[in-house]
Amino acid sequence: MADLRAHLVSPDPEERAYWMGALLREANTRDVWLFVTRAEVHDLWPRLVRYLGRARSMWAYLLGLPEPEWPPPEARHA
């Protein structure tokens, strides 16, 4: 748990997003709030979306955010 907490406060936003994504994917939704705040999730949302996998839509709904388009349009091949 100490390692996870350290990753979640890393100065590197990509590292924080990766580990927060793992937390949101794997932890029970009510346990997530023991580690991060709603504001932290909102702040990292643009980076975080790619790490959420199938949980992407659920978290968008729970946070009152628009459902992210996945894959993003710029990543699609013509």
3-state secondary structure of 17: helix
Residue extents of the structural domains in the chain: 2-72
Which tokens in the block code for residue 2? 């100490």
If DSSP codes are grouped into helix, strand and coil, which group holds residue 30?
helix
What's the Rg (C-alpha) of the chain? Answer: 13
Q: What is the pLDDT of residue 71?
A: 83
Nearest Cα residue to 26 out of 58, 70, 2: 58
Q: Indicate the pTM of the whole model.
A: 0.88
Q: Which long-range contacts (CB under 8 A, 24 or more apart) does 37-45 make?
A: 38/63, 40/8, 44/13, 44/16, 44/17, 44/20
pLDDT digits (tens, 9 = 90+) for 32-64: 999 999 999 999 999 999 999 999 999 999 999
